[in-house]
């Protein structure tokens, strides 16, 4: 189990680094639509990985982020500075939770 946990932590760190890269790109004015799709996939991946590891809090937060991003991508919710801030804060919370694992 420790090997799986180590792989989970490594994969999660890589996903979070990719999130940071793409989120910076959005802030710098790059194509938000493409970056948001990537970020939604990161949330999806974290949801699945944390579910396999039975880390319910991370799984739930990842699912919420994935859903919120889906609404923005589908046009049901406006992309705003507040929405971007909430997404960033969500990923920051996941990162903090992972430090406790």
All structural domains of the chain, each given as residue ranges with its CATH number in brackets, are 2-99 (1.20.120.160)
pLDDT tens-digit profile of 56-90?
Answer: 999 999 999 999 999 999 999 888 899 999 999 99
- Count how many Cα atoms sit within 13 Å of the Cα of residue 45 in the half-sphere of its side chain: 18
pLDDT computed for residue 1 by the predictor: 62
pLDDT computed for residue 30 by the predictor: 81
pLDDT tens-digit profile of 13-60?
Answer: 999 999 999 999 998 888 888 999 999 999 999 999 999 999 999 999
Helix or strand (DSSP H, E) at 1: none
CA distance readout (Å), 98 to 13, 31, 67, 86, 87: 9, 29, 21, 18, 17
- In this structure, the number of other CB atoms found within 10 A of the CB of residue 13 comes to 12
CB 92 within 8 A of CB 17: no
């Amino acid at each position: 189990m420790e090997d799986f946990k180590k792989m989970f932590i490594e994969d999660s760190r890589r996903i979070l680094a990719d999130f940071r890269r793409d989120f910076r790109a959005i802030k710098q004015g790059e194509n938000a639509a493409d970056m948001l799709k990537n970020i939604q996939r990161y949330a999806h991946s974290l949801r699945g990985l944390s579910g396999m590891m039975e880390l319910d809090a991370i799984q739930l937060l990842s699912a919420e982020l994935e859903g919120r991003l889906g609404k923005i991508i589908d046009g049901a919710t406006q992309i705003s500075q507040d929405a971007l801030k909430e997404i960033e804060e969500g990923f920051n919370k996941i990162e903090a939770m992972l430090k406790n694992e």
